[in-house]
Amino acid sequence: MEHESPRTVRIALGSRSYDILVGPGLIAGAGREIARRLPGARAAIVTDETVAGLHLPALLASLGAAGLEATPIVLPAGERTKSFEQLVALVDRLLELRLERGDAVIALGGGVIGDLAGFAAGIVKRGMRFVQVPTTLLAQVDSSVGGKTGINSPRGKNLVGVFHQPDLVIADTSVLDTLAPREFAAGYAEMVKYGLIDRPDFFAWLEENRPAIFAGGAQRAEAVAQCCRAKAVVVEEDEREDGRRALLNLGHTFGHALEAGVAYDPARLVHGEGVAIGMALAHRFSARLGLCPPEDAARAAAHLEAAGLPTRIGQIPGAGFTCEALMGKIAQDKKVKRGRLTFILTRGIGQSFVSDDVDPAKVEAFLKDEIDAR
């Protein structure tokens, strides 16, 4: 499963098709790749304070060498940046720079920067060109692929946004070397997700190659490219998330409820950790319903644990969760229809499916036992 880098993953969406370039050290050639695809464009680089200190100089140098005029816009790091206030300020900056529809917004950062900058690019002049340079593992394997952009509202996460496909994604796997180990592991949970959804061979390959991926070898780039391809297949089938794309939410109904339960405090739980616990729960719940062999649920959890990820509600530091509170969050979730819950369940490793007919009482009983198991 090893190739020479950079690997190119093509997202085939008709006139909105684009390439994802994956490999170590790609930022050095980013200017050339962007200039080739958007000749004559000017650019604004949107990034956060942490990433700016680490990787902005290299990107600026690369754009400069390619003759691309680019202005950096540096925002605070963290989920709170995905707000209407920051959106309005960013849009104003882009307009102040007099950028046109053919000019580019370049997002250099994690999912927060990608989601905010992509939304701004989607609405300035009703749609500017957009380039993603994802710098977290989560952003490389998940948020930068598929065109979902947006911000949070005081009423909930990701409630406002647009579908706006990028013109190019450059996933430089070397920049992940500066990522906090906890953030790397969180992104790894999303990697594991692709295996658990419908790629049992990829899951087995991850079991073998996890240490190399964490260490940064060629396997890391290979793994990122495999995940982009996996997500691409789903996005190509269902660009606007009306059906099959729901499978990508494996582990997320439980995960979101847990994140909300800690009031999105990243000191207690980051998104990927919530997803790791959520996927373990989805497998154990499926086992309890008699759908999934218990050995497969144990195998999924064991792999996540080996990667340093939590798999039990009781591992979340701080005050305990009540079953009522979690069920309330789950019911609030958008995946509820006429009193039955929509859940991603599984018949085993790599055999997930969407069920829109899950009995809330069974979820509640299951969660009660899981909380007590702490």
DSSP 270-313: -HHHHHHHHHHHHHHHHHHTTSS-HHHHHHHHHHHHHTT---SG
User: Which of ligand NAD, its own copies, none is residue 153 near (CB under 5 to 8 Å by kind)?
Assistant: its own copies
Q: Residue 338 catalytic?
A: no
CA of 302: how far to CAs of 96, 135, 144, 200, 346, in Å? 52, 27, 28, 15, 17
Q: Output the six-digit token pair for 231.
A: 């997500």
Clarify whether 245 is annotated catalytic. Answer: yes
Terminal-to-terminal C-alpha distance of the chain: 39
CA atoms of 198 and 358, how far apart (whole Å): 21
148 among the known binding-site residues? yes
Residue whose CB is less far from ligand NAD, 170 or 176: 176
Amino acid at 16: R
Query: Is residue 368 annotated as a catalytic residue, yes or no?
Result: no
The reply to whether 236 sits near its own copies by the rule CB under 8 A is no
Nearer to ligand NAD, 31 or 122 (CB): 122
Give CA torsion, residues 243, 245, 240, 160, to 10 deg: 110
| 125 binds its own copies, rule: CB under 8 A | yes
Per-residue interface string for the shown chain with its own copies, residues 104-123, x marking contact by CB under 8 A: ------------------xx
What is the C-alpha R_g of the chain?
20
Q: How far is the CB of 256 from its own copies (least distance, A)?
A: 15
Using rule CB under 8 A, residue 161 touches its own copies: yes
Residues in the chain: 374
Contact 275, 255 (CB under 8 A): yes
Identify whether 148 is a catalytic site residue.
yes
The torsion angle over the Cα atoms of residues 334, 347, 327 and 231, rounded to 10 degrees, is -40
Asked if 153 is part of the footprint of its own copies (rule: CB under 8 A), the reply reads yes
- Check if the beta carbon of residue 135 is closer than 8 Å to that of residue 176: yes
- Annotated active-site residue in 79, 241, 305, 364: 241
Nearer to ligand NAD, 260 or 367 (CB): 260
249 among known catalytic residues: yes
Q: 45 to 84, contacts with its own copies by CB under 8 A?
A: 84
Identity of the residue, 163 or 264, whose beta carbon is nearer to its own copies in the bound complex: 163
The single residue of 55, 82, 164, 256 carrying the catalytic annotation is 256
Q: Is 329 a catalytic residue?
A: no
Coil vs helix vs strand at 25: coil
Q: Is 190 annotated as a binding residue?
A: yes
- Residues 239-278 binding its own copies (CB under 8 A) are 240-241
Distance CA 199, CA 213 (A): 18
Residue 88 interacting with its own copies (CB under 8 A): yes
What CA–CA distance (Å, rounded) separates 183 from 271? Answer: 9
Q: Is 241 a catalytic residue?
A: yes
Q: Which does 135 bind (CB under 5 to 8 A by kind): ligand NAD, its own copies, none?
A: ligand NAD
| Binding residue ranges for NAD(+) | 111-115, 135-136, 148, 157
Q: Which residue numbers are catalytic?
A: 126, 148, 190, 231, 241, 245, 249, 252, 256, 271
List of residues contacting its own copies (CB under 8 A): 84, 88, 91-92, 95-96, 100, 122-127, 148, 150, 153-156, 159-163, 240-241, 334
